[in-house]
Amino acid sequence: MDTELLLICALTGVINLIGALAYAARIAGVRTGRIALSFALFNVLLLVSRTSNGFLGPFLAKRIETALASGKGDMLLWDLRLVLLAAAAAVALGIVLVPTGQRVFAAAITSFQHNRSTSRLLLRSVTPSGLRTIREAVAIPTTETLRSLRGPKGVSWGVLAANAIAQGLLAVGVLASLYAGYLVPEFRVTASQMTAIVNGFATILLFALIDPQISALTDDVVDGSVSEATFRRAMIWVSLSRLAGTLAAQVLLVPAAVAIAWAAGWL
């Protein structure tokens, strides 16, 4: 693995890890009763993710262009599969870190309530006391948590399936479009622009079908009609469906690239 591919995998990992920790922010918001604040603090991490994503696209595009110029694209598909593997590994790590994440977010919410300053919160996180708080928050899912998955999921199988599909499309969208540009280099600009269609469809699934369900469940916990344990269980299932979708992206990569290449030539 060369340095450029290692950097691409690292950026992909950061993006997907932060996305997986979004569920920890929801749990912390419910636990502390500060849902809006928990999302606001999570957006600070999201800025890091979006910045990483901005660098990721050009790095991937350059790799495609280099393969076309050198005529050595035999390993390109393998490289893209490694990127998807890094994404899946980061999501899996994020699921394991959800207990840690929810404790860290809860501590951050409490700290912000006292100081009302994002800059102070960020500075405090690197002080000895802040690092001690993070160290003390480290936890892994317990056997009891795994056993609890046998209880009511809190979300329907339809929502979980839709989330898996959406996450799979988001994971594969950019990579399939760029690989389609390698398959039909004469239409590679058109193919790269079709990323927006794939990601747009996935975003519609997320915002129209999935987020409203999770938001409604969050409100149910706040008003007491659903237990916090059920909510945590639902977030675990949603996290697992995200992992399933990211793993399924390995299967979707080539068919999606071929479909995009055909569509780019047909337009």
43-102 tens-digit pLDDT: 777 676 666 666 777 888 888 888 777 777 778 888 899 999 999 999 999 888 888 888
At 145, phi and psi to the nearest 5? -65, -40
Within 10 Å of residue 61's Cβ, how many Cβ atoms? 16
Average pLDDT over residues 19-37: 81
Average pLDDT over residues 247-251: 93
Q: What is the pTM of this model?
A: 0.86
More confidently predicted of 3 and 146: 3
What range defines the domain where residue 209 resides?
3-266
Closest by alpha carbon to 26, among 17, 18, 35? 35
- pLDDT (tens digit, 9 = 90+) per residue, 233-242? 888 888 899 9
Whether the predicted pLDDT of 118 surpasses 80? no
Q: Where does the pLDDT of residue 232 fall: very low under 50, low under 70, confident under 90, or very high at 90 and above?
A: confident
The mean of the pLDDT values for the chain is 83
Contacts of 101 (CB under 8 A, 6+ apart): 21, 24, 25, 28, 94
CA distance 210 to 161: 10
Counted domains in the chain: 1
The per-residue pLDDT for 267 is: 63
Contacts of 233 (CB under 8 A, 6+ apart): 148, 149, 151, 152, 153, 154
Sign, CA torsion 139/156/199/41 = negative
Q: Over pLDDT 90: what percentage of the chain?
A: 11
Q: Where does the pLDDT of residue 206 fall: very low under 50, low under 70, confident under 90, or very high at 90 and above?
A: confident
The per-residue pLDDT for 50 is: 64
The per-residue pLDDT for 247 is: 94
The per-residue pLDDT for 1 is: 65
Tokens encoding 226 = 């659903």
CA distance 66 to 69: 5
Rounded to 5°, the CA angle 115-98-204 comes to 95
Does residue 162 contact residue 136 with C-beta atoms inside 8 Å? no
Phi-psi region of 33 (alpha: psi -120 to 50; beta: other; left: phi over 0): left
